[in-house]
Structure 1
Amino acid sequence: MGIELMSYLPEIILVSVIAVFMSISPGADFVMVTRNSIFHNRKAGLYSALGVSLAIWVHVAYSIAGLAIVISNSVVLFSIIKYFGAAYLIYIGWKTLRSGTDIDISETKDKKTLSNFSAFKVGFITNVLNPKTTLFFLSIFTQVVNPETPIILQLIYGAIISLAHLVWFSSVAVFLTHPALLKRFNDYKTTIERMVGAVLIGFGLKVASTSNS
Structure 2
Amino acid sequence: MSDLQIVSFIAASLLIIIVPGVDFALVTRQTVRYGRQAGFVVLAGLFAAALVHASLATAGLSALLVSSPGLYTALRVAGALYLLYLGGTILWATRPRRAAPATQPVTVAAGGAGTGLDATEPARNAPVAEDPHVARRSFVMGVTSQLLNVKVVVFYVSFVPQFVKPGDGAAARTAVLAATFIGLAVLWWACYILLIDRLHPWLTRPPVLRAIERLTGLILIVLAIRIALSH
> Which of 109, 121, 137 does residue 156 from structure 2 map onto?
137
1:155 alignment counterpart: 175
- 1:100 corresponds to 2:100: no
CA distance in 2, matches of 1:149, 1:141: 16
TM-score normalised by the chain length of structure 1: 0.83
SS in structure 2 at match of 1:115: helix
SS in structure 1 at match of 2:45: helix
- 1:90 corresponds to 2:84: yes
CA distance in 1, matches of 2:220, 2:132: 20
2:26 alignment counterpart: 32
> Which of 2, 18, 21 does residue 15 from structure 2 map onto?
21
CA distance in 1, matches of 2:181, 2:42: 16
- 1:124 corresponds to 2:157: no
Q: Which moved more, 1:182-191 or 1:43-52?
A: 182-191
SS in structure 1 at match of 2:121: coil
Q: Which moved more, 1:27-36 or 1:92-101?
A: 92-101
> Which of 165, 186, 206 does residue 205 from structure 2 map onto?
186
Query: How far off its partner does 1:10 sit?
Result: 4.8
> 1:126/1:165 Cα in 2 relative to 1: closer, same or farther (>3 Å)?
same
CA distance in 2, matches of 1:108, 1:67: 36
SS in structure 2 at match of 1:177: helix
Structure 2 stretches lacking a partner, 5+ long: 94-118
User: Partner letter of residue 185 of structure 2?
Assistant: H
Greater C-alpha radius of gyration: 2
> 1:184/1:45 Cα in 2 relative to 1: closer, same or farther (>3 Å)?
closer
- 1:67 corresponds to 2:87: no
Instruction: Output one character per residue of 1:140-193: Cα deviation in whole Å (capped at 9) or x when no partner.
Output: 244432232623332221211111111111222111122x44334323222221
- Please identify which structure carries the higher helix content: 1
> 1:46/1:73 Cα in 2 relative to 1: closer, same or farther (>3 Å)?
same
